[in-house]
Each structure stands twice: as C-alpha cells, then as structure tokens.
A and B are shown apart, each in its own frame.
Chain A
Amino acid sequence: MKTTNFLATLLLATLFLASCSNDDDGTPVAVIEEEVITTMTVTLTPVGGGTAVILQTRDLDGDGSDAPVVTVSGDLTAETTYTGGIVLLNETEDPAENITEEVEELDDEHQFFYTVSSGLGITAAATNFDGSDNPLGTQFSLTTTQAGSGTVTFTLRHEPKKPNTGLSDAGGETDIETTFSVVVE
C-alpha cells in the first residue's frame, strides 16, 4: 500500500514536470546594434576649389551576407592637393548615428591609415591629432602627382600602438578596412 502510494507520487511528479507549461516570455525585443559602422564616406575637396570626389562604402547588413557597396564619385586630378574628411555612420539606427564624433572623442584610441598602391604617386597625411600630438586622421591632406590608376585603402585601427611607424607596426584591431579603386587624370 505504502509502496503504491510512493510510486504514484513519483510518477505524478514526473508527469507534472513534463507537462508544466511555461508562461510565455512574450515576444523578444530586436537588438539594433549601436556599435556597428555601416557607412564610411571620404570627401576629397580640391584645395583651390572644384568638384569634391566622394569615396563611399556602405554595408547596411553589417556582417550579414550582403557585401558592402563601394562607390567612387569621380576621378582625381593630377598635381592637386585635396582636403580629406571622413564621416562614419551607423545607418541601422534611425536617425543614423554619427560614429566619427565618438572616434574623435576617443582620439587616443583610434587612428586612420592610408595605403596607396605603388605607382599611383599619391601621398596622404593626417591633419588632426590626438591629445599627445599623434595622428588621428579623420581629417587629412591628400596630394596627387602624375596621372595613373590604382587603389587607396583606408584603415581604421582601434587601440593601436601610438606613436607608430605605420600600419605594419600599429597593432590594434581593424574597425574599418576598405580599398577604393581610383583614377588620377
């Protein structure tokens, strides 16, 4: 008799657990990632005036399956100096969040690097600096020489070694790296 009761209790307990239905937690909230940089726009304005050249990369699904859309608005002019400015946006948010501000605030933790393919004869150097006078590079100056074509790569490193002698020495993590094909006429 006792045995039967004991057994029955245990079985009931088992069944109870198996059938216990959980209250629905409700619909989960979608996560909109705030740190994502979806868009980098590089504006190159000729110092003596003229039409600016805009280089842009835009990747609205972040690390999703769509590749970034890379555009170059026009050709650069030979023997010309350009004032460069970089704007970083997170367009998954509405309105889009300007990440450049954050990069410039934490200027000691960031640095832009410009890598030009050989034979293109372009030189570029940062014109804004962090608190310790090391380059930040969201503002820069770019000078072309003879005509030609090739690539310019913009790399943003997070927590690089500062000061450094260039990309190969900087360390840190890559936040952005985009290569643009450019033509100098």
Chain B
Amino acid sequence: MKIYALLILLLIGSGSAISQGCSNTLSGKIIDFHDNTALSEAQLIIIETQDTIPSNAKGEFQFTGLCDQTCRIQVSHPYCLAKEYTIKISGDTYKTFRLEHHLEELNQILIEGKSYSRTSNTLPEKKILKEDLDRYQSGSLGEILNSISGVSSLNTGNSVVKPLINGLHSSRVVTINNGIRMEDQEWGVEHAPNIDINTAGNITVIKGAGALQYGGDAIGGIVVVNPSKAPIKDSLYGKTLLAGVSNGRGASLTSQLTKSYSNGWYAMVQGTIKRFGDVEVADYILSNTGVFERNVSFRFGINRFTYGIEGSYALVKNDLGILRASHLGGAQDQIRAIESAVPLLVEDFTYEIEAPKQEITHHLASIKAFKTFETLGTLRFQYGFQQNNRLEFDIRRGDDRDKAASDLQLITHTIHLDWDTELFDPLQLKMGLVSRYQDNFANPETGIRRLIPDYEKYDMGGYGILAYEVNPKLSIEAGGRFDYTHIDALKFYRSTFWESRNYDNIFSDIEIEEENNQVLTNPVLDFYNPSATLGVTYQFDDVHQVYFNYSLSSRSPNPSELFSEGLHHSASRIELGDLRFKSETAHKFSFTLERNHKGFGYTVNPYLNTISDFIVIEPTEIRQTIRGNFQVWEYRQTNAQLLGVDLDAFYAFSEHFRVNHQFSLVKGYDRTRSEALINMPPVSTKNELVYQHKKWHQLVLKLQSEYVFRQNEFPDHNFEVFVPETETLTTVDVSTPPLAYHLLHFNANMAFQMNTKTQLTLGVRVNNMLDTSYRNYLNRLRYYTDDLGRNITINIKINY
C-alpha cells in the first residue's frame, strides 16, 4: 500500500496546471525500479478509453489528445507484474513509471539493444549482453571487452589479458564485480582481472571517470560486471555451456542453476572449469602457455519491491603458464631471444604448467541490502570481503626450485552506503560513503626480496551526484567526490639504493633499522583525491542524441609505483618506484553523438584526456650485474595528454543482412618531454558482415575483419649492449612496434527448441581463420613470439 501511495505521490507531484482542453499529451518513461533500466515494449492502457500504446526502445511513450481529467492507466510488461496507476492530467504531463522488472532468465530473452540502462547519463558506455558473454564463455574478461570500440588489451601471452580503455590500464581502470571494487593487485601489467565472466549477466564499460559512485580514480574507465537477476516467480532453471577449443586443445565447462520463488527468495549456484594446454601460433608451439581455471560462485537472497538482501561468494582459482622462452637473464639473453625467429625453447605440446607461472586465488564474499523508504528514497548497504593470493614462480635453482618467487596476500574489506532519492520530480540525488581497509602481506619464505612490501591501507570516500531532467530532451548531471587514502608500509630497501636516491637524508625519520645491507623503513603516506563530473545530454529527435561530459579524477600512486625496487624477472628488467610521488590528476572531456535507429545507427565519441603527474615507467640506464647487463626502468611523473576518437556504426540492409563497423584511434603524448607515450593502442578497425534469420533456428552468421595498423608513434627505449662473442655493441630493440596485420574471424550460432523447457544452442567461432602470423604491439611477449594462430571454438549451450 505504501508503495502505491509513494508512486501516486510521485506521479501527482508535477505537471502544469494550465488547462488546454482535449489536446494534452501524457508522455514519459518506463524504467526498472531497481536499476533504472529503460523498459521497452511495455503496454500502457488508459482503462477508461482502452487506448493502448507500447513504450519505445528507450522506454518512452506518449498519449495524445487527452483532456484535463483523472484517468487510470495500466502498465504491463512481459516480465513484470502489471500495475495500475491513477493519474491527474492537467496540461501536457510527463510521468516516469517504475516497474519491478526482472529479466526472464529462462529462455534468455534479452533482445539486443532493447534493454539498456545507464550508469551515468552523460558518458559513453557500452554494454555486453548475456548472449555475447555466452559466446565467449571459454575466454577471459579482457578478451570479451576487446570487442568494444576504444577498448583493447595489454597482454602477456595468451593467458594474461588486461583491459585497456582509451589507452589506459591497470590502476587507471576500475573493475566493479557485483557492486564491489576488485582489489586483486591490478597494478601489475601482468596481472589479469580475477573474474569468471560466466558469473556475469551483463558487462558495462564506461569510458571515463564520471561514474563517481564507483570511484574517483578511474582515469581510464570503469568496467562494471553485474550478475543476472532471478525472476520473482516459482521457478527452477539452469544452463550448461560446454566449449571445445582447438588452439590449446582445451575445453571449458560452466553450469548454473537458479531456484526462485514468487515471494522473492532466490538462490543461484554456478561453477566453471577450464583447462587448456600449450597454445600454438601459425608455425610452432608456445611452450608452457597452458591455463587451468576453476571457479565457483553462489548467491542467495530475497528481492522484494521495497527491500532486498543478498549474500554472495565467488572463488576464482587460476593457474597460468608464462611462455618459457620469455624468462630471460640479462640483456645478452634478451638480444638472443629477440633475434631468434622462433622462441628459444619450443617443446612438444603438453597440458603441464611449469615455472614460470602464476597461481592466483581470489575470494570475493559480499552481503548487500537495500530498502526503499517512502520519503527518503532507496538506501543501499554493501559489505565486501576479498582475499587475493598471488604466487609467481620463476625458474630457480637448488633447494628453492619449487618455491614461489613472489607470494602476496592482499585482504580487503569494503563497506558502501549509498542513498538514491528523488528530491523532487526531475531532480535525482545519489550519494554515498565508502570505506575500505586493506592489508598486504608479502611472504618472506620465498627467499627473494619483496617487490611489494607489507602495507596497510585505509580509504575513505564520499560522493554526491545530482541528475536534473530539465525537460524530456535535456538532462544535466553534476557530481563531486572526495577520497582520502592512508598507506602505512614496512619496506626493506637496499642500502645502496636508499643512499643513491638520497632517501637517507630526505626520509631519515622513517628508518627503523639497518642490517645486511638492507634498511627497514616505515613509509606513512597520505593522499587526498578530489574528483568531479559535469555532463549534459540532449536528444534532438527520436534517434539522435548528444552527450557531453567533463570529469576530473585523481588517483593515488599504487604500491608498485611507490615501492618497487629490484629485478622484475618476468620483464627482465630492474624496476624502481619513487616514494615521493603525488596523486595523478586527470581532466577528461568527452563528446558523443549517437544515432539509434533500427536501420542505421552510429556513435561518434571524440575525447581529450589531460593528465598531470601521470606516472610512467621508462628505461633510464643499463645496470651491470654479475649476471650481465639489465635495463633499469624507473617510474617518473610527467604531464600527459591522450586524445582519440571511437566510432561505431551499423547499417541494416534488410531484416537479415547488416554490417557493423568499429574504428578506434588514440594518441598519447608526454607533454613534458615532447614524445609519444609507450604502449598506446595502434589504430584499429573492425568490420563485420552479419546474416541472421530468426525463423531458421535463430541462425546468425558473422564474418569479421580486424585490421590493426602499425603504431607509428612510440618512444625510443632501445639500448646498446656489448656482446663478447662478436666483440660488438649491439642494439637491443625493445621499442619498434610490429607491423600492421589483418585477421579474419567467423562466428555461427543456431538455437533448437528441444521441448518447452529445454533449448539447445550450437555455435562455432573461428578466430584468425587464415592462420596469419602476426605480432601485437600490446603483447609483452611480442619480442619473442608471434601471436595466436587459428583457433576454432565449438560451443554447446543447453538452457533448461
């Protein structure tokens, strides 16, 4: 009853009082009560007149020719309980109806492009829906995000795939998994996100930092992984997906079972197992590149109109082989590895994973609850616990052979408190508080000096976002956020390094003791990070829309940037951080023109990101050691600028034929040194021809061409090394990007209805159809090996 009262209050709250006879309109929008998803194809019936109209793709509707009157309107939607509202029409009236909508999981009815919600109203964002996720079931988060324009990935071989949004990665990309920010040592370039994409109902990428509810430091962007919702009805359903993968001769099996009740209770259990052996490029096997992944998750809770509670747990356990031939000694080894046409070590195919390898375990448990109050709006609370264990194994000698070279345990507790409310009809307020405590423990049992020290970190943040709908065409959004970070670390420095940096004078107060040429120090650091966003959306007509967004974001340096000091074996270089770093501050301007029409649509999104105190790592010198020469890479702060444009377009020739296009360009410059930034994605374009025929078992055929240009702008980090065998100085080319390449991919899908409850979907995907040999600038192993050859994946999905 209270809800009805609330809705009626909301509905009656506004509207012009000027009477204009019987030419009034009633327009508005139908959105999901929970997450503001626009609901298309809802039926609206004026009960008195039986006038019926549907809502459009954006959830909008309009009745015309109404008199000043009070009428009853019934709103229904295929996946919602129908609701009846009493509305007083007085002049042109605008209403927002909120239905409690739950995606119908049973038969995967989620029609592409028809159900979309926005996390921020004024930022370009892209969503990957369930059916696409299922197609990539055997892949990783990084791989699937690669399908979005402006998103590429920074890879270490085939198994470690990190998302790169508009040229930025690692700590500059925030990943939100079921409401909780992932804290999985994301700072390292060879640390992939620990998410099983099979737990996701949809994935949204926000290219920018403006979605302040998730954090103020996402200078690159935000990846939001949301689980699917259980319907509110008595039901038991599930699905099982099996994929066979030719390259790596592996398979992936995932299964999910959901039980739901009409009183709102639900429980879901899901598991994935994935095993691949060594992958192959066109001409040879990449030894020690296997993957063994085991994931399990469950969720249970109650979801009602005004309140809900959910408990969830997810475990991701991943063993990743790193190409054996990429594990090198000094610069002389690097020369040999780069000059060799094939990797220095190629062995027979195996599923075994030996050192160098990574073993990662990530636990994520959370409790969340929401309650909607009549006058206050909706209050959400979430607590999350994460434990990330990361073992990295190098090639070692003697008794330590089987010991990890790096053994880190990162524990994070997070509490969120968010409040969404409608201050008055068109003005929405979102605000919240977050606090986080993190503890990192670096196990000394490894017998190798810690790259990342023991530390404790406290974060406190608060944000507020106002969204104002000036009229149905124009919306404004503004927000602010402030975060405080406190780091308390215990770090051993080599005495020689400590003194060479003059830290013994600058930081003499944090020295605790000195023994064995090592200084134990206690760095205590505080960072204050303001962030803000301002955006406007304007809708020209039914299909054209523009977005403009400015966002200010700032990011504290991560532990790797602050504390690194030593040989990073997997990169064959010495890495040095800097205790004196300040926060990075970015100003990003983003503009989007969007046309959304069923026959022809496009998105054009240019952006400019100016970052002060941008932290880059680059080589500074060659260091002689008894093991030969190593390149020293030091972090430094500079002023950077990234500018680029992402284009998406599609054209439907008919019901069956369409073409899709994507184009991404980004340029990154170090403005202080007037040179290009390293690891900027090269220009790329993807063009796709799609044939679909719904009546033929929902047949979909896609042929995709992917062309990646050569990166022509790059900093020159080459160095020279004396090679005794040839008595010459030889240049180690670690800078020159590889050549442009073109790949063809093919994808086919069909669905068969076995009986009323069971559906079987069959799919075939062929990546790199022509088995082209190529090297990818953004793959850290590109010096040593070609990239993946042809890969055929066969997918079988059963919904039951």
Contacts and interface: CB of A to CB of B under 8 A. Distances in A.
A158 B446 CA distance: 20
B379 A7 contact: yes
Interface stretch (A33-41, A44-52, A75-83, A135-143): A33-41
A133 interface: no
8 contacts: A3-B373, A35-B396, A35-B447, A62-B567, A63-B566, A65-B497, A67-B624, A175-B329
Interface in B483-535: 490, 492, 494-497, 500, 512, 515-518, 520
A16 to B, nearest CB: 9
Given A65-B496, A174-B332, A176-B626, A6 B400 contact: no
Interface residues on A, range: 35 or more
A40 B433 contact: no
B395 A174 contact: no
Interface of B: 327-330, 332-333, 336, 344-345, 371, 373, 376, 379, 381, 383, 395-400, 413, 415, 417, 433, 435, 437, 439, 441-442, 444, 446-450, 453-454, 456, 458, 460, 490, 492, 494-497, 500, 512, 515-518, 520, 566-567, 574, 623-628, 630, 722, 724-725, 727
A117 B724 contact: yes
Given A18-B435, A31-B448, A63-B567, 7 more contacts: A13-B381, A31-B444, A31-B492, A33-B449, A61-B494, A158-B395, A177-B724
Contacts of B515: 30
A68 interface: yes
Contact of A27 (B328, B500, B512): B512
Contact of A65 (B415, B492, B500): B500
Interface of A: 3, 6-7, 10-11, 13-14, 17-18, 20, 22, 25, 27-35, 37-40, 57, 59-68, 92, 102, 106, 115, 117-118, 151, 153, 155, 158-159, 167-168, 171, 173-179
A45 B458 CA distance: 62
Contact of A29 (B376, B379, B444, B456): B444
Contacts of B495: 61
B628 A177 contact: yes
Contact of A37 (B400, B446, B494, B626): B626
A29 B444 CA distance: 7
A17 B382 CA distance: 12
B415 A17 contact: yes
A131 B538 CA distance: 79
- What 8 pairs across the A-B complex have the smallest Cβ distances? A174-B329, A153-B724, A18-B435, A177-B628, A64-B494, A63-B567, A173-B329, A115-B724
Nearest to B330: A174
Contacts of B417: 10-11, 14
A118 B398 contact: no
A125 to B, nearest CB: 17
A11 B418 CA distance: 11
Contacts of B567: 62-63
A115 B727 CA distance: 10
B329 A10 contact: no
A20 B415 CA distance: 12
A28 B454 contact: yes
A35 B400 contact: yes
A63 B574 contact: yes
A31 B450 contact: yes
Contacts of A25: 441, 454
Contacts of A92: 516-517
Contacts of B395: 158-159, 173
B328 A173 contact: yes
Nearest to B628: A177
B397 A35 contact: yes
Contact of A28 (B396, B446, B492, B496): B492
Given A35-B400, A65-B500, A118 B727 contact: yes
Contacts of B517: 60-61, 64, 92
B574 to A, nearest CB: 6
Contacts of A57: 626
Given A64-B494, A65-B623, A68-B625, A177 B332 contact: yes
A156 B89 CA distance: 89
Given A31-B446, A174-B628, A158 B566 contact: no
B625 A63 contact: yes
A106 B396 CA distance: 13
A60 B496 CA distance: 10
Contacts of B373: 3
A158 B626 contact: no
A62 B417 CA distance: 49
Contact of A10 (B381, B437, B449, B500): B381
Contacts of B397: 35, 102, 106, 158, 175
A64 B497 contact: yes
Nearest to B565: A64
A11 B441 CA distance: 29
A106 B376 CA distance: 73
